[in-house]
Amino acid sequence: MVSSLALLLAQSAEEQLKELQDKVALDSSILLEQFYFYTVVVMWLIHVGFMAYEAGAARRKNIMSTAMKNILTIAVVTPTFYYFGWYIYGCFEEGWPKSGHASPDAFEGYCGLTAPWSAGLGPNLADHASLVFFLAFLLFSWTTGSIMSGALIERVRLSAYLILTALLGSFVWIMDAAWGWSYGGWLTTRFGFHDSIASLVVHGVAGAFTLGVLLNLGPRIGKYDIKGRARSFRGHNTHMTLMGLMLIFTGFYGFYAACLLITSTSFPGWLNIYGSPTTLGTIAMVITVGFAGGFTGGWFASKGDPFWTLSGGLAGVISVSAGADMYHPMLAYLLSISGAFLAVWTGTYIEKKLRIDDAVGAVAVHGVCGFYGVFLVGIFAGGYPTGINNIPVSFGGQLMGMLAFLPLAFLPGYGAAWVLKKLNLLRVPPEVELEGLDLAEFGQDFYPEFERAPEVIVMPDGQAVEAAPVLLDAYWQTTAGSRS
C-alpha cells in the first residue's frame, strides 16, 4: 500500500517535472525567436545606411539610380535566397549533400529542413527557429549585395547589378558560409577555420566578387586621364554618406548579435556560429573598440579625410570580426587600427596604381580587410578550440579558408560580369552615363527645387575644375572606336 502510494507520487512528480521542462523549453525557443527577430529589425539599418552612404557618394545626376539598387536588392535576393540560398547553406556544409536530406553529419536532417518545400519554411506552430534563422541569413545576403553595390555606382546597369547581386547573395557567399561558417562545415570540422563574425565569409567574399565585376565594368568616364592618373568625383552630399555609415555601424550591432546562438535549455550559454562558447558582451566590446580603433587609424592614415575616417571604422571592425568572440578588447583596438591603415593604403593603391575605379573603396575596406581578419586570427588566436570537434585554430587552417574562398568568390563575379559585358547588358550607354542615370531611368532630377550648380571634378594635381569639358573629352575618347 505504502509502496504503491510512493510509486504514484513519484510518477506524479515525474510528470510535473516533465511538464515543467517542456514549458521551460518552449519559453527558451520563443526567447530565441524573439532575439533573432530583433536582430533582423536592427540589421535593416545596415541597408538604410548603405542606401544613404552610396546615394551621398553619387553625383546629383545619379542619386536615385544609386539608391534604387539598394532597395531592389531586397526584391531580388529575397526570393532567390528562398529558393536556392538557404538550401545551399543547409545541404552543402560537407562540400555537397553526401547523405541527401539527412545531411550533414553534425546536424542530422538539417539539409531537409532548408528545402523550399519543407515545413521549416512555412507557417509552423511547432518550429520557432527555422524562419528567424532564415531571415537573419537573408539579411546577411542583402549585406553582401550592398557591399558590392557601392563600388559599381554611376555606370552599372541596375538590372545587371540585380543579376549579380542575386548570384552573390543567393549562391556564392552562402556556399562559403556553408563551408566555413557553420558548425558542420568541412573547413570548420576538419581545419578549425575560425571566422566567427564573418570577416571573410561576408565581407571578404563580397569584396573579391566585386573585384571580379569591376575588372569587367571599367572606370567611370573621366575617372582617369590619358596618362592613367586618377581624378576624383565629388559626391553630391558627404554628410549623407557619413550618416549612412553611422547607420551601417548601428546595424552592425544587430549583425554581430545575429552571429550568436542562445537556447538555454540546450546549452549553458551563448555560442558562436561554430557551437563554441562565448558571450554577447565579448563581441559587443570588440565591435565597439573596433570602431574606436578604426576611426583612429582611418583618421591618421588618410590625414583627416572624413570619408576615409569613417570607412576606417568599418575596416577596423571587419578586421577584428573573425576573432571577435575571443579577442581581448585592447588587442582588438590595436588590430582595428592596423586594419584601417591597411584599408586606406590599399584603397589608394587600387585606385591610383591598379586603376580600378571602386567608387566607395569596397574592395579595400571589405575585401582586403575581410581576408586580413581571418589572417589575424591565425596569428593571434592559434590553438583556440573551434567548433564541435574542438579543432584548434591554426594559421594553416585559416590559410585553407582563404585559399578556398578567394577563387570561389572572385571567379563567379568575374565570369558573370564578363557574360553580361559580352551581351552589352553590364554598363549603361556612355551618353546616358554622361547625362546622368536618373534622367534615363526615372525621367527627373531628384532635387527639383535646388539650383543646379556646375559639376566639379578634382584633377590629379588636386585642382577642382568644372567637369563638363573634361567628361566630354573623356566621352569622345571612350566612343572614338565605335564612331570611326
Binding to other proteins, residues 448-467 (CB under 8 A) = 454, 456, 459, 463-466
For residues 205 and 405, the answer to whether their CB atoms sit within 8 Å is yes
Minimum Å gap between C-beta 383 and other proteins is 39
Pattern of binders to other proteins over 96-135, x per CB under 8 A? -----x-------x--xx-xxxxxxxxxxxxx--------
Minimum Å gap between C-beta 10 and other proteins is 22
Minimum Å gap between C-beta 207 and other proteins is 24
Minimum Å gap between C-beta 394 and other proteins is 37
Q: Which of 10, 71, 79, 349 binds other proteins (CB under 8 A)?
A: 79
Minimum Å gap between C-beta 21 and other proteins is 15
Query: Applying CB under 8 A, does 90 fall inside the site for other proteins?
Result: no
Q: For other proteins, which is the closer residue by CB, 277 or 469?
A: 469
CA 233 to chain centre: 25
Minimum Å gap between C-beta 192 and other proteins is 31
Beta partners for residue 427, in sequence order = 156
Minimum Å gap between C-beta 80 and other proteins is 6
Under 8 Å CB-to-CB from 183, ≥6 apart: which residues?
Answer: 106, 107, 189, 273, 274, 275, 387, 388
The count of residues in the chain is: 484
Binding to other proteins, residues 285-344 (CB under 8 A) = none
Minimum Å gap between C-beta 379 and other proteins is 43
Minimum Å gap between C-beta 84 and other proteins is 10
Q: For other proteins, which is the closer residue by CB, 64 or 404?
A: 64
Query: Applying CB under 8 A, does 243 fall inside the site for other proteins?
Result: no
Pattern of binders to other proteins over 394-433, x per CB under 8 A? -------------------------------x--xxxxx-
Q: For other proteins, which is the closer residue by CB, 80 or 210?
A: 80
Q: For other proteins, which is the closer residue by CB, 195 or 455?
A: 455
Give the whole-angstrom CA distance, residue 335 versus residue 420: 39
Query: Applying CB under 8 A, does 473 fall inside the site for other proteins?
Result: yes
Give the whole-angstrom CA distance, residue 40 versus residue 38: 5
Q: Which of 33, 441, 446, 460 binds other proteins (CB under 8 A)?
A: 441
Cell of 253: 550591432
Minimum Å gap between C-beta 442 and other proteins is 9
Number of residues that bind other proteins (CB under 8 A): 57
Query: Applying CB under 8 A, does 440 fall inside the site for other proteins?
Result: yes
Pattern of binders to other proteins over 143-172, x per CB under 8 A? --------------xxxx-xx--x------
Minimum Å gap between C-beta 148 and other proteins is 16
Q: For other proteins, which is the closer residue by CB, 376 or 420?
A: 420
Q: What angle do CA 115, 121, 122 make, to 5 degrees?
A: 135
Query: Applying CB under 8 A, does 20 fall inside the site for other proteins?
Result: no
Q: For other proteins, which is the closer residue by CB, 166 or 318?
A: 166
Q: For other proteins, which is the closer residue by CB, 5 or 75?
A: 75
Beta partners for residue 230, in sequence order = 224
Q: Which of 40, 45, 76, 139 binds other proteins (CB under 8 A)?
A: 76
Give the whole-angstrom CA distance, residue 241 versus residue 249: 12
Q: For other proteins, which is the closer residue by CB, 395 or 476?
A: 476
Q: What angle do CA 237, 242, 246 make, to 5 degrees?
A: 145
Q: For other proteins, which is the closer residue by CB, 38 or 476?
A: 476
| Piece of the chain touching other proteins by CB under 8 A; list 191-199, 270-278, 302-310, 470-478 | 470-478
Site residues, other proteins (CB under 8 A) = 72, 75-76, 79-80, 82-83, 101, 109, 112-113, 115-127, 157-160, 162-163, 166, 425, 428-432, 434-435, 439-441, 454, 456, 459, 463-466, 469-470, 472-473, 475-477, 480
